Amino acid sequence: MISKQLSIFIENRQGRLGEVLGVLKNNNVNILSLSLADTTEFGLLRLIVSNPALTAEKLVKEGFSAMLTDILVVSIEHKSGSLQGALNALSDSGINVEYMYGLSVHGEKATVVLKASDLKKADEILAENGYSTLSAEEIVEF
């Protein structure tokens, strides 16, 4: 199941991340997962949030560069080799994983956020290999 991720480009300066988080707080948006990568001049903030479309709209209105990206949230067994199995299934089918990061949710399984070259095909391959993907609504329920 394809979900939405919010990608925000922010200047790498003191307080700018806090300004983004302030917009979320003021609009009652809950962060479900966060990844921040930086360079000397800017940062790329990736968020899974409770209301991605509203959040993107509000951030753009406040002057931030924000866009929605399709991603998969993959549920994986908590055992050695599980992530490698999922990634091998994708690679063997010609799917490139562009990036990924962990997502913390309650439960017995681990989850990762995954951006791939062909998300629809990746979702099908993962399902065929016993991996499930989660919707934003399912993530919020955890």
Summarize the chain as % helix, strand, coil (round to 5). Answer: 35, 40, 30
pLDDT digits (tens, 9 = 90+) for 53-91: 999 999 999 999 999 999 999 988 888 999 999 999 999
Q: Which residues belong to CATH 3.30.70.260 in the chain?
A: 72-141
Instruction: Look at residues 117, 115, 45 and name the one whose alpha carbon lies nearest to residue 133.
Output: 115
Report yes or no: 55 and 49 within 8 Å, Cβ to Cβ: yes
2-70 CATH fold: VC0802-like (3.30.2130)
Candidates 3.30.70.260, 3.30.70.20, 3.40.50.970, 3.40.50.1110; CATH matching 72-141: 3.30.70.260
Q: pTM for this structure?
A: 0.80
pLDDT digits (tens, 9 = 90+) for 8-56: 999 988 899 999 999 999 999 988 888 998 888 889 999 999 899 999 9
